Amino acid sequence: MKYWTILLLCGALVACSSTTEDAYETPEEAYLIGYRAFQKTDYEAATKAFDVVEQEFPFSEWADKAQVMMAYSQYKQNAYNDALMTLDRFIQLHPGNKNTPYALYLKGLCYFEQMADTSREQEMTANAEEAFNELVFRYPSSIYYNDAKAKLVMIQNHLAGKEMEVGRYYQKREDFTAAMNRFQAVLINYPDSNQLPEAYYRLAACYQALGMTKQAKAVTQKLSEKFENSIWTKRALKLTE
pLDDT of residue 24: 66
Q: Over the chain (241 residues), what is each successive 10-residue block's mean pLDDT?
A: 45 40 71 94 95 90 93 97 96 92 97 87 92 96 97 95 96 97 96 95 96 96 95 93 83
The CATH number of the domain covering residues in 1-101: 1.25.40.10
d(CA 114, CA 5): 26
Backbone φ and ψ of 99, nearest 5°: -95, 0
Spell out the residues 6+ positions from residue 10 whose beta carbon is closer than 8 angstroms to its own.
35, 39
The predicted pLDDT at position 8 comes to 46
pLDDT at residue number 6: 41
Q: Note the pTM of the prediction, 2 decimals.
A: 0.81
What is residue 22's predicted lDDT score, i.e. its pLDDT? 43
User: What is residue 72's predicted lDDT score, i.e. its pLDDT?
Assistant: 97
